[in-house]
Amino acid sequence: MTNDDKLKQYLQLQGHNALQLRAVLFDMDGVLFNSMPYHAEAWSQVMTNAGFNFSKEDVYMNEGRTGADTINTASIAQFGHPATQELIDALCKEKCDIFATYPPTPRMESAYELLQKVKEYGLTPMIVTGSGTPTLLDRIQENFPGIFNPAHIITSFNVKRGKPFPDPYLLALSKGNLNPNEAIVIENAPLGVTAGVAAGLFTIAVNTGPLKEEILSEAGASIVYPSMQALHDTWDELYKTLTATHA
Ligand code: MG
C-alpha cells in the first residue's frame, strides 16, 4: 500500500474529506530524545530490585504509560493486585534518581532538523509525552530552542489517564484548538500509537528501538519509518501526499 492509500484508508475510516494539517504532535522519548536506552536500564533495574520480573524489552512494550501505570500493570499481572501508592511513589522516585545520574540524554538524530522543517511549513509542533522525568522535561527548550510554546507540551502531570488511553492526545487537540484531521502523530512506542489512533489521529511510527516493525503497524500506525532520520529525509514528499486533496 502506498502512503496515499494509507491516507485514504484513514480518511474513510474517520469520515474526513482531507487532512487540513495545522499541527504535528510529537512523542518525546525515543522520538525527540534518544532516551529509551536509559529508561530501559533504569526501569528494569528498579523493578527487578523490587521483586518484579521486568526486562528491558518490557520497558519498551510499556513505553508511553505513566510510571504509576507501568508499576500497576506489572503488579496486577504478576501479583494479582495493584501496587500501593507508597510503592509507586518510591519506585518512581528511585527511577528518576537513577536516571538523573546518567549523562545528559542526546537528541534523537535529525529530530531538531525535522522540527525546524515542520515550523517552516507553518505547522505547530507540540509534545505529547507520558513522561514525568524532570531531567528531560527541563531540557526541552534548551535542546530545541525556538520550537515549542510551553503551553503546547503535554506531560504525565497534565492527565489522569496516560497512553494507551487517548486522553493525552485529546488534551493536545483541545489545547491547540485542533480537530483530529488537523494534526498528525509521530510516535515510537506501540502504546503511544494506540493512544494516537484512539484519539482519531493519523499516526506515523518511527521504529527507533529494538521492537519488530509489525508491532507498530499492528498497534495501528498508518506508516512506519525505520528512524527519525528517514522521516526527516522524506518529509517534503510526505507532506505533499498528506495534504493532497481527495475528491
Ligand atoms: Mg516514546
pLDDT in tens, 147-172: 999 999 999 889 989 999 999 999 99
| Distance from the alpha carbon of residue 240 to the mean position of ligand 1, in angstroms | 26
Report the Cα 137 to chain-centroid distance in Å. Answer: 14
> Can you give the pLDDT at residue 136?
83
Q: Which residues surround ligand 1, an ion (CB under 5 A)?
A: 27, 29-30, 188-189
| Distance from the alpha carbon of residue 195 to the mean position of ligand 1, in angstroms | 12
Q: What is the mean pLDDT of the chain?
A: 95
| Distance from the alpha carbon of residue 63 to the mean position of ligand 1, in angstroms | 6
Q: Specify whether the CB–CB gap between 216 and 207 falls below 8 A.
A: yes
| Distance from the alpha carbon of residue 33 to the mean position of ligand 1, in angstroms | 9
Q: Of the ranges 53-67, 124-138, 222-236, which is most confident?
A: 222-236
Does the structure show a pLDDT above 60 at 191? Answer: yes
* Region 181-192 average pLDDT: 97
Q: Specify whether the CB–CB gap between 33 and 131 falls below 8 A.
A: no
| Model confidence band, residue 246 (pLDDT cutoffs 50, 70, 90) | low
| Distance from the alpha carbon of residue 170 to the mean position of ligand 1, in angstroms | 17
Does the structure show a pLDDT above 70 at 193? Answer: yes
- Residue 107, phi then psi, degrees to nearest 5: -65, 150
| Model confidence band, residue 178 (pLDDT cutoffs 50, 70, 90) | very high
Q: Specify whether the CB–CB gap between 213 and 194 falls below 8 A.
A: no
* Distances, alpha carbon 41 to alpha carbons 45, 61, 96, 193, 238, in Å: 6, 14, 12, 23, 34
pLDDT digit string (tens) for 19-46? 999 999 999 999 999 999 999 999 999 9
Using alpha carbons, select from 205, 239, 235, 231 the residue that is nearest to residue 109.
231
| Distance from the alpha carbon of residue 207 to the mean position of ligand 1, in angstroms | 10
| Distance from the alpha carbon of residue 106 to the mean position of ligand 1, in angstroms | 14
In the chain, % of residues over pLDDT 90: 92
User: Domain coordinates of the chain in residue numbers?
Assistant: 3-35+107-246, 36-99
| Model confidence band, residue 138 (pLDDT cutoffs 50, 70, 90) | confident
| Model confidence band, residue 133 (pLDDT cutoffs 50, 70, 90) | confident
Does the structure show a pLDDT above 60 at 247? Answer: no
Q: Which fold has domain 36-99?
A: DNA polymerase; domain 1 (1.10.150)
| Distance from the alpha carbon of residue 210 to the mean position of ligand 1, in angstroms | 13
| Distance from the alpha carbon of residue 1 to the mean position of ligand 1, in angstroms | 26
| Distance from the alpha carbon of residue 231 to the mean position of ligand 1, in angstroms | 15
* Region 90-100 average pLDDT: 95
> Can you give the pLDDT at residue 245?
72
Q: Identify any residues that bridge with 31 across adjacent strands, giving them in sequence order.
A: none
* Distances, alpha carbon 130 to alpha carbons 10, 29, 49, 95, 192, in Å: 25, 9, 23, 15, 9
pLDDT digit string (tens) for 44-91? 999 999 999 999 999 999 998 889 999 999 999 999 999 999 999 999
Q: Which CATH number fits domain 3-35+107-246: 3.90.1300.10, 3.40.50.1000, 3.90.550.10, 3.10.180.10?
A: 3.40.50.1000
Is residue 210 reached through a cis peptide bond, with omega within 30 degrees of 0 on the bond before it?
no
C-alpha 55/C-alpha 53 separation (Å) is 7
Report the Cα 49 to chain-centroid distance in Å. Answer: 27
* Region 211-231 average pLDDT: 97
Is the fold of 3-35+107-246 the same as that of 36-99? no
Using alpha carbons, select from 237, 220, 202, 214 the residue that is nearest to residue 12.
202
| Distance from the alpha carbon of residue 211 to the mean position of ligand 1, in angstroms | 12
Q: Count the helix, strand and coil residues of the chain and give each as a percent rounded to the nearest 5.
A: 50, 10, 35
| 79 CB burial (10 A radius; 0-12, 13-18, 19+) | exposed
